[in-house]
């Protein structure tokens, strides 16, 4: 789904308070899923996440209703909310776009989009690269929360180091091949009649040298807005729920089988789209094959390169600890600020930062203590 991050990792460096036992020094969680019921021959789990036991959850795998670029074929979204709906977490769809410094190539893309529109084909979203701040203030917040007031924009806490590590690992994995990959992150504090939210974004921008229509060289940009979350609380309550947000986000998992199937479909669409561009139009004539090769290789190389760093990036950025259930062998990741975790037989988990807490003495059911796993 995301060739840069494999969508096997979702950001949780964004952040026990308002729910499910927090006042007693523990947090009780349940596992919920998004099941893709429309994309393949049978329903496939796409995403799982642990949320407070008394929260509601609504998640979907949304498929495009018309021809789109490969990365936009399916979007995962969800809403999780407390019983009074005043506190919650929302995952918004990713956004992808392209740009080129060559005015003639921009015109060529616009012409191709017009042709694709007439033929009901996939179009390229053409927009200049944006910082995370500009994307939030000019694109995301106006679209997601029309009329909302933005009182501030700041970097996402603790995100610099793991993102820098991701870029370094990606470049080191392909020596001699410059990736020109950059990332920027921010969160906007947004005020609505129902309360306030952090809306977060990480913007990835990859610049690739390409031939120009005039015979020179220029830069082509592929941009992606990822980790678009809305973290909602009553007015003045964002900081109080900081640990809760982080705990929930640290448990988000993309199912690897679903991810693999989606990636295969995207790669097939990419190959078909590139061939169609060449077949329908010779406007880029001599550079057509170079353009096709650069785009194809860039797509495949990003998939291979950044998938290798996916686990390390995910763990560092989200601040997670790997646990293993000794009774079942099941692995789970939880916020690393909780040194103690237990699992029940019916898919619930309890985390606590107290070494003396034991859910078997205060909660119904049988709870198995999870073992920390160190890589």
Q: Give yes or no: residues 50 and 184 share one domain.
A: yes
Q: Give yes or no: residues 48 and 163 share one domain.
A: yes
Supply the pLDDT for residue 88.
97
Q: Give yes or no: residues 295 and 193 share one domain.
A: yes
Supply the pLDDT for residue 275.
57
pLDDT at residue 23 greater than cutoff 50: no
Q: Give yes or no: residues 160 and 88 share one domain.
A: yes
As a whole-number percent, the residues of the chain with pLDDT over 70 amount to 77
Residues 6+ apart with CB under 8 A from 128: 99, 221
Residues 6+ apart with CB under 8 A from 130: 138, 139, 203, 223
How far apart, in whole angstroms, are the C-alpha atoms of residue 185 and residue 142?
18
Q: Give yes or no: residues 200 and 281 share one domain.
A: yes
Task: Classify residue 226: in a domain, yes or no.
Answer: yes
How far apart, in whole angstroms, are the C-alpha atoms of residue 64 and residue 269?
13
Q: Which of 301, 334, 352 is the last residue of a domain?
A: 301
**Token pair in block for residue 12:** 């949780």
Let me know the angle formed at the C-alpha of 35 by 198 and 251, rounded to the nearest 5 degrees: 45
pLDDT tens digit sequence for 92-103: 999 999 999 989
Q: Give yes or no: residues 210 and 174 share one domain.
A: yes
Q: Give yes or no for a contact between 24 and 36, defined as CB atoms under 8 angstroms apart.
A: no
In this prediction, residue 369 has a pLDDT band, given cuts at 50, 70 and 90, of: very high
Tell me which residue range forms the domain holding 350: 321-373
**Token pair in block for residue 125:** 């979203």
User: Using N-to-C axis directions, what is the helix angle for 288-308 and 160-172, rounded to 10°?
Assistant: 120
Let me know the angle formed at the C-alpha of 274 by 272 and 275, rounded to the nearest 5 degrees: 65
pLDDT tens digit sequence for 40-69: 999 999 999 999 999 999 999 999 877 667
Count of structural domains within the chain: 2
pLDDT at residue 6 greater than cutoff 80: no
Task: Classify residue 306: in a domain, yes or no.
Answer: no
Greater model confidence, 25 or 301: 25
Q: Give yes or no: residues 296 and 325 share one domain.
A: no
Q: Give yes or no: residues 191 and 327 share one domain.
A: no
Kind plus residue range of the DSSP H or E element containing 332: strand 331-335
How far apart, in whole angstroms, are the C-alpha atoms of residue 91 and residue 248?
12
Q: Give yes or no: residues 289 and 345 share one domain.
A: no
Q: Give yes or no: residues 104 and 204 share one domain.
A: yes
pTM of the model: 0.80
Q: Give yes or no: residues 76 and 180 share one domain.
A: yes
In this prediction, residue 13 has a pLDDT band, given cuts at 50, 70 and 90, of: very low
Q: Give yes or no: residues 294 and 369 share one domain.
A: no
pLDDT tens digit sequence for 183-235: 999 999 999 999 999 999 999 998 988 887 677 888 999 899 988 999 999 99
């Amino acid at each position: 789904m995301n060739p840069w991050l494999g969508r096997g990792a979702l950001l949780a460096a964004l952040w026990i308070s308002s729910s499910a036992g927090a006042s007693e020094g523990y947090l009780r969680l349940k596992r919920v899923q998004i099941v893709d019921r429309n994309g393949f021959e049978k329903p496939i789990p796409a995403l799982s996440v642990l949320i407070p036991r008394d929260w509601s959850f609504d998640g979907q795998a949304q498929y495009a209703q018309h021809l789109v670029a490969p990365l936009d074929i399916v979007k995962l979204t969800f809403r999780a909310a407390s019983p009074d709906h005043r506190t919650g977490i929302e995952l918004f769809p990713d956004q992808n776009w392209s740009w080129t410094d060559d005015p003639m190539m921009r015109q060529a893309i616009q012409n191709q989009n017009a042709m694709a529109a007439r033929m009901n084909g996939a179009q390229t979203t053409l927009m200049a690269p944006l910082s995370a701040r500009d994307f939030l203030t000019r694109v995301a917040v106006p679209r997601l929360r029309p009329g909302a007031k933005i009182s501030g924009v700041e970097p996402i806490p603790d995100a610099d180091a793991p993102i820098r590590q991701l870029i370094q690992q990606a470049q080191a994995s392909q020596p001699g091949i410059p990736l020109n990959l950059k990332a920027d992150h921010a969160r906007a504090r947004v005020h609505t009649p129902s309360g306030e939210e952090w809306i977060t974004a990480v913007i990835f921008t990859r610049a690739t040298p390409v031939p120009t229509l005039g015979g020179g060289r220029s830069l082509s940009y592929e941009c992606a807005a990822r980790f678009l979350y809305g973290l909602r609380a009553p007015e003045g309550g964002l900081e109080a729920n900081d640990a809760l947000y982080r705990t929930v986000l640290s448990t988000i998992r993309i199912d690897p089988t679903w991810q693999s199937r989606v990636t295969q479909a995207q790669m097939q669409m990419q190959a078909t789209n590139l061939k169609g561009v060449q077949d329908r139009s010779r406007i880029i004539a001599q550079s057509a094959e170079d353009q096709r090769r650069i785009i194809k290789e860039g797509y495949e190389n990003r998939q291979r390169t950044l998938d290798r760093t996916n686990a390390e990036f995910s763990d560092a950025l989200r601040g997670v600890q790997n646990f293993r259930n000794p009774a079942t062998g099941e692995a789970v990741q939880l916020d690393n600020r909780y040194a103690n975790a237990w699992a029940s037989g019916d898919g619930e988990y309890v985390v606590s930062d107290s070494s003396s807490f034991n859910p078997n003495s205060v909660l119904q059911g049988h709870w198995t203590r999870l073992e920390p796993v160190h890589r």
